[in-house]
Structure 1
Amino acid sequence: MSPLQIRVNLGSTELSELERELRSEFGPSVVSSERAEELKEILALANKDIEDHDSELARLHGEIKMVEAEKQRLESQRAKLHSLLSPMRKLPNETLLRILQCVCENNLIQAYPWDSDRAPPTKFTSPVITSLPTMTISSVCSRWRALALASPSLWANLAVEIYTTTKDKSKALVGFIDTVNRYLARSGDWPLTLALTVLGSPCQPSIAEGVEFPSLVHLMQHARRWKSLKYRGDHSITRYKILSQLHFPLLAKLNIDDIEDGTIFSNNQIKILKIRRVPGSPKFSKALASYPSLKYLMLGYVRRIESASSLGTWPNITSISVASGASSSIIFSSNFPSLNLLVVEGASWGERIGDKPLEDDFISFVSRSSRITSLTLRSPILSDLNLIAALQVMPALLHLVIHEARVQYPNPITTHLISSLTRDQSVFLVPKLLSLSLISYQDTGNKPDDSIFVRMVESRWFKPDSELSAAMLTMGRASIQSVLLKFTWREVQAEVYKPLQNLRAEGLRVVIAGRNGVHV
């Protein structure tokens, strides 16, 4: 297009005169009739110039939009071409499936509409589809969809939240029920992991009726496939009498409020049991006896128990996770001769049972459970001296994890603890330790010196195939293989930890992190 033809183009002299007139001339006779006619002609020409410029701008905007659209098309094509080189496309289906299984560990299906004045158990902060990862990935591309549809394990992890009134409103809940049925159908005969939350009026669904409470009925029709069940609700699961008429041949993991609620199931095959409310010792011991195959026991926090005496001896249980308070007092006073894994959550070690501090019970407990190979303490209100005393009677310990408490109480991660873990010619605390993870959340004024920690790790690392490593093995002492140290409240001096980088080159797995990320 030819350049715009400018009709009005005032020179510098004319502009100066115009500005002078604007500043100094005023009144009814400021502009003569001849001058007024001249100005009107100039204004008319200026208006035409502006119209021409508007037209040119519209044309240019149109061209810009065309260029932008062309750019977006090219970028889309480039992205598609680039995706052909994506490493993800090279993954075999077996490896991709393993990744997708990690993503699809929980598919939350919540009744909609939620027929209650109460807030639902889970509040969505993002689109509902994001809570259904298996359905989401099956919509990504044809390969992922084909893989998802051919993999029933991806559809077998369900969390279902239901609100019951006197009757399910089938028509209103048709989308919810269809989603549940789609997952049940696509999971085939794969064992189901089910987290079930039922709020509202107690109900007695019947498979024979098949009309009332269809969402519950459809789940119960697949009871033979239940491998893991977590139940939360306004009413005890024993209120659902229909469950006592069903068979659960695969049920191996049970997560319920009360241990006695589990009596509604066939308990012979349950190997993992988690309960939130712990009864008194006699009732607890009697109920526990109905789980002869139990291997892993997890107990929630209980402030008080009517009777906190010993449960006796349980040789089959090999793993225990227990919260603080009365729950831990029952465990620490009992015997588990085959125990090899112990997790203690939020231990209020300052509590007392009678006149005996819980620290004493803990130390006595681990000394009786000499086979413990893995110890995890989360938020332990425990002094370094008591922890060292406990470690002295744990010669088989292989893995130690400590997450400090976030409150101002004695915490065990101190210079004294780290120094005690340093290999000495005469004393070698936990001689078989393979991995150590320490996470510190606050400065209690007695945190381990960085150089002391480095020295401890160096003392426990034996270069593979070296004479020292062979000599230590003959003495029943192992080289540490993995170390993690994390401070959430301060930075770490990367230069101080440089010697550990050298050990990493020899094979040690080490992570040292400060407030702003990993440094080693």
Structure 2
Amino acid sequence: MDELNTIYIPLLVSQICTRWRKTALATPRLWSRLFLQLDTTTLPRTTLVREWLDRSGACPLTVYLFWEEAPFLSSHPVLEALMDHSERWQAMFFYLPYAAFKSLSRVRKRLSNLRELSLGTSDEPAGYIAKLDAFSVAPRLTSLECVNCSPLTFKFPWSQLTSIPMMAVSIDDCIDVLLQTSRLEKGGFILIDSFPSVYGRGRAIRHQHDHIRSFTIMTPPLNETVDLRGLFPQLCFPHLEELLICNLHSPFCAEFVSFLSRLRCLRTLHLRKTALFDYQLVEGLKYLPTLTSLIVYSAPTQAPTVTHHLLASLTWKKGKKGERLLPLLKKLELTIDYNVAEDFIEMVLSRVLVVEGSGNDHPARLEQIRIRPTEDLGDRIYTGLAKIASHGVEVTVEDLAEAHPSVTD
């Protein structure tokens, strides 16, 4: 979504010739999307918006509206024009000054078609404020995103949400949101506080969420050391299939391994730039026999997660059932340095040279590997990767591709 595709291309199509113009004006969907940056030149923008709203007929609307330039007022003519058609809102992204959100109150109970909503602001007020109820009644709303603003600033129909692509919250607020979203299937949270108050409140109650299939934990760039000791004991997602943790530089805890032990259906584990120690990951992987995809990118300034110990633990050992990890693994992405590169090749081959029909003594065959080298791995390693690719495995090497091209089947 940008101005080129939502404004300039429709205008260009309608100006080619008379026949094309008639066709464009007779195609309401061509005018049903808008990407707008609000500024002080209100009249041209307002005229354009009203023209698009007329030409789009009764089509559902998708609008991205950004108001990032002062002066910031309590409303804007473009916003007023859009509110006249709120019954047609389907997917809306608002990045507005806080005062402008108050003006949206007149769309309350006039959002019968709204399915996706994303909200953001740069001047969220401090302290207690009354909740805004513009979006409290939206019978079809299933996806909600809050960027740079607290979701608790608004009233939402939490119980009907199935997707939260991204939401910036404290750990306490994350738990509160989970408690209210009984139908949530996909949740992404940027956790912003450094130590949970749940310990102080004595509220470490485990919450079982039966519908969540995908869960993401991130931290903001200004605070990548958020303490999650109070979060993991409260989470129980028995049907979780995908877990992503990104930019978490605080030490992981025993509670994290315990959390993994409760994920009986996990298929994808994605750890990007974390401070997880290798032995903690190995211990956690013992509880994840259903995993088919493992992605581990070590944080540049932290001790590497991908070590000799991790790779040795992932190497399939014949006749040693008690020491085998991830029997169903088919996709693997790792950060690799020169010191562990040969161990990596050995581990992958142990999962590629699999005898078909050999029963439980062999793992599932690796189908895809992607490595992110932190340094030149040497020609010998690329020879090993070529051997792996010759067995039909899709092999990709990132970053140093100019020096050593990617090897694929």
Query: Residue 188 of structure 2 aligns to a residue in which SS?
Result: strand
User: Judging changes above 3 Å, is the alpha-carbon distance between structure 1 residues 274 and 493 closer, same or farther for their aligned structure 2 residues?
Assistant: same
Alpha-carbon shift at residue 448 of structure 1 (Å): 4.4
Alpha-carbon shift at residue 330 of structure 1 (Å): 5.0
Q: Is the 8 A contact 2:316 2:363 kept in 1?
A: no
Alpha-carbon shift at residue 349 of structure 1 (Å): 3.0
Alpha-carbon shift at residue 396 of structure 1 (Å): 1.1
Query: For each residue in 1:425-451, what CA deviation from the matched residue of structure 2 results, as whole angstroms up to 9, or x when unmatched?
Result: 1132111111111245xx6xxx54332
Alpha-carbon shift at residue 348 of structure 1 (Å): 2.4
- Give the AA of the match of 1:414: T
Q: Is the 8 A contact 1:340 1:372 kept in 2?
A: yes
| Larger displacement relative to structure 2 (304-313 or 476-485) | 304-313
1:470 aligns with 2:352: no
Query: Residue 244 of structure 2 aligns to a residue in which SS?
Result: strand
Alpha-carbon shift at residue 277 of structure 1 (Å): 3.6
Distance in 1 separating the partners of 2:314 and 2:245: 21
Query: Residue 362 of structure 1 aligns to a residue in which SS?
Result: helix
Query: Residue 496 of structure 1 aligns to a residue in which SS?
Result: helix
Q: Which residue of 2 aligns with 1:510?
A: 395
Q: Is the 8 A contact 1:349 1:359 kept in 2?
A: no
TM superposition score normalised by structure 2: 0.73
Q: Which residue of 2 aligns with 1:391?
A: 285
Distance in 1 separating the partners of 2:377 and 2:27: 45
Q: Is the 8 A contact 1:229 1:254 kept in 2?
A: no
Q: Is the 8 A contact 1:274 1:297 kept in 2?
A: yes
Alpha-carbon shift at residue 153 of structure 1 (Å): 7.1
Distance in 1 separating the partners of 2:357 and 2:31: 49
Q: Unpaired runs of 5+ in structure 2? A: 116-140, 220-224
Query: Residue 507 of structure 1 aligns to a residue in which SS?
Result: coil
User: Judging changes above 3 Å, is the alpha-carbon distance between structure 1 residues 419 and 220 closer, same or farther for their aligned structure 2 residues?
Assistant: farther
Distance in 1 separating the partners of 2:30 and 2:271: 33
Within the candidate set 72, 81, 87, 1:218 is matched to: 81
1:400 aligns with 2:317: no
Q: Is the 8 A contact 1:194 1:228 kept in 2?
A: yes
Alpha-carbon shift at residue 297 of structure 1 (Å): 1.2
Within the candidate set 412, 435, 444, 2:331 is matched to: 435
Q: Is the 8 A contact 1:492 1:514 kept in 2?
A: no
Query: For each residue in 1:136-171, what CA deviation from the matched residue of structure 2 results, as whole angstroms up to 9, or x when unmatched?
Result: 9859989xx89x9598777666544435xxxxx6xx
Distance in 1 separating the partners of 2:393 and 2:27: 37
1:321 aligns with 2:216: yes
Within the candidate set 288, 294, 305, 2:184 is matched to: 294
Query: For each residue in 1:364-396, what CA deviation from the matched residue of structure 2 results, as whole angstroms up to 9, or x when unmatched?
Result: 111111211111111111211111111121111
User: Judging changes above 3 Å, is the alpha-carbon distance between structure 1 residues 497 and 266 closer, same or farther for their aligned structure 2 residues?
Assistant: same
Distance in 2 separating the partners of 1:137 and 1:292: 46
Bigger relative contact order (CA 8 A; separation at least 6): 2
Q: Which residue of 2 aligns with 1:234?
A: 97
Q: Is the 8 A contact 1:238 1:261 kept in 2?
A: no
Query: For each residue in 1:29-71, what CA deviation from the matched residue of structure 2 results, as whole angstroms up to 9, or x when unmatched?
Result: xxxxxxxxxxxxxxxxxxxxxxxxxxxxxxxxxxxxxxxxxxx
From the two aligned structures, give the one with the greater helix fraction. Answer: 1
| Larger displacement relative to structure 2 (180-189 or 490-499) | 180-189
Identity %: 21
Distance in 1 separating the partners of 2:314 and 2:29: 44
Within the candidate set 238, 253, 260, 1:337 is matched to: 238
Alpha-carbon shift at residue 512 of structure 1 (Å): 2.4
Q: How many residues align?
A: 356
Query: For each residue in 1:201-221, what CA deviation from the matched residue of structure 2 results, as whole angstroms up to 9, or x when unmatched?
Result: 452x5xxxxxxx331133334
Query: For 1:76-475, what aligned pairs fall within 5 Å after superposition?
Result: 106-108=1-3, 129=4, 134=9, 158-162=34-38, 172-181=41-50, 192-199=61-68, 201=72, 203=74, 213-235=76-98, 239=102, 240-249=104-113, 250=115, 251-256=141-146, 257-263=149-155, 265-274=156-165, 276-279=167-170, 281=172, 284-304=174-194, 305-307=196-198, 309-310=204-205, 312-324=207-219, 326=226, 328-333=228-233, 334-350=235-251, 358-407=252-301, 409-425=302-318, 426=320, 427-439=323-335, 448-462=339-353, 468-472=355-359
User: Judging changes above 3 Å, is the alpha-carbon distance between structure 1 residues 455 and 187 closer, same or farther for their aligned structure 2 residues?
Assistant: farther
Query: Residue 253 of structure 2 aligns to a residue in which SS?
Result: helix
CA RMSD after TM alignment: 3.7
Distance in 2 separating the partners of 1:137 and 1:433: 50
Query: For each residue in 1:282-313, what CA deviation from the matched residue of structure 2 results, as whole angstroms up to 9, or x when unmatched?
Result: x6544444433321111113133433644622
Query: Residue 497 of structure 1 aligns to a residue in which SS?
Result: helix
Alpha-carbon shift at residue 183 of structure 1 (Å): 5.6
Distance in 2 separating the partners of 1:430 and 1:139: 57
Query: For each residue in 1:294-340, what CA deviation from the matched residue of structure 2 results, as whole angstroms up to 9, or x when unmatched?
Result: 21111113133433644622112221111245584454122122211
Q: Unpaired runs of 5+ in structure 1? A: 1-105, 109-128, 164-168, 206-212, 351-357
- Give the AA of the match of 1:173: T
TM superposition score normalised by structure 1: 0.59
Distance in 2 separating the partners of 1:454 and 1:384: 18
